[in-house]
Amino acid sequence: MGLRAASDLAFKTLAGTVLGRGAAGRIARVVSLAAVVLGANVAPTMAQGLPLIRDTEIEDLLNDYARPIFKAAGLGTGRVQMRIVKSDSFNAFVIDGRNVFIHTGTLMQADTPNQVIGVIAHEAGHIAGGHMAALRARIAKDQTRALLMQILGIGIMVAGGVSGDSNVTGAGTGVLYGGSDMVMRSLLSERRSQESAADQAGLSYLNATQQSGRGMLETFERFAQQEYISDTHKDPFVRSHPVATDRLNQLRRLVTGSKYYSQSDTAELQLRHDLMRAKLAGYLDPPAAVFNRYPVTDKSLPARYARGLARFFRGGPGGLEGALTEIDGLVRERPNNPYFHEVKGDLLMRSGKSREAIPHLRKALQLTNGSSLIRVQLAAAIQNAGDKSGLAESVSLLRKSLVEDKNPRAYRLLATAYYNQGRRPQADAMTAQAYFLEGNLQQAQIFAKRAQSQLKPGSPEWIQNDDILTYKPPA
């Protein structure tokens, strides 16, 4: 569905997962908490939610990377989700046993699929090793207050470094030295031990799936030199994954000693990786930067993909036409690639041509065998086309998508469809679900209360709304 913002995981919810529900409300305002403990580099302006994006093509590729790794780690199928964070920095992190977060900067900077797969394997090692549970148990001990003071101190310093505010950094230093040095040393030692354990576990998953650990080694070798520079200039991945010399040497021995060391990514997987990077550049980078990185002399599929998007976002006369000419060329060359059809539909929708986008999104939906995100995009195009006869199809598409993927956009579109059908209570109920997923409990309960009195008791909508109305936020 193109690259679209997603707010389905509020930071307060994430803090609750890490620290336990009782502490979530008090700690949610400590913006860099996850940055310190578990690697989430969250800017102060994003205190209420990570800047997540959704895209079918990228999620499909990441899931293909991760699926065999998660299976080898004993994490099952569908239990762990890959989440994409919009950030230029190189980082990946976990904060619970259900999600692996990876930055767009990581995907853009990784030259090969194996480098991303190595990062995923390492993070899977943290999940399988129960490191998040260990952290929760650690904080639950009677030294909680001193530990949180230490975390808060470093968190403030990281936030100051990101923002360039020396006063904020100084305040963090004061808090840090006011806490227990022994607690922090013990915590850092435990973190180093966990990082080494995650390396070894990740390598075992790569070996089990007959993949090279070279990508993991290349990533950590790349950042080893940052160990000796200030935290202000380090990538967040280095802050949360310290690369000690002995750890790197051990990793190098294990990787080069594997019989799969020379295993390479297939040409088709490398192409998908390059197309993903091109798509991210086309949607997120300034058009001038895209044309510089992908000059017109480059006739490859990824280069044409990126330039097509850049032509559209550059705007001006002929912007849409130039973009569609590039995308149509890609479709002719790879007619069974669903994402080229999807992008064409997305660009048409962004240009106010939703009716023209519908057949392209239908084709993309067919080629993906029913992607939930493309279902949502198609439903949006049908609604935007303004034909009331299409409302029933829109509702059907959205309800099917929500069976697989609970996301606020689908709930809001469903609310709009219900409202236009004259089904106000159901519309309010879906709006309540959207607000609840976004972490806005107050608004969720307002709409749930409005809907509840008019819904049939015991119906699915009534039960969902009752769950919202009876939900009690952590103290």
Is residue 414 within 8 Å of 395, Cβ to Cβ?
A: yes
Output the pTM of the full model: 0.80
Instruction: Summarize pLDDT for 386-442 with one digit per residue, the tens.
Output: 988 899 999 999 999 999 999 999 999 999 999 999 999 999 999 999 999 988 999
Q: What is the pLDDT of residue 431?
A: 97
Among candidate residues 84, 115, 107, 90, the one with its CA nearest the CA of residue 206: 115
Q: Please count the other Cβ atoms lying within 10 Å of the Cβ belonging to residue 95.
A: 24
The residue extents of the domains of the chain are 4-256
Distance CA 33, CA 172 (A): 12
Is residue 323 within 8 Å of 309, Cβ to Cβ?
A: yes
What backbone torsions phi and psi does residue 457 show, to the nearest 5 degrees?
Answer: -55, 135
Q: What is the pLDDT of residue 29?
A: 30
Is residue 301 within 8 Å of 271, Cβ to Cβ?
A: yes
Strands 99-103 and 81-85: parallel
Q: What is the pLDDT of residue 135?
A: 62
3-class DSSP string for 241-293: CCCCHHHHHHHHHHHHCCCCCCCCCCHHHHHHHHHHHHHHHHHHCCHHHHHHH
- 3-state SS, residue 381: helix
Instruction: Summarize pLDDT for 55-94 with one digit per residue, the tens.
Output: 999 999 999 999 999 999 999 877 899 999 999 988 888 8
Residue showing tokens 């990062």: 119
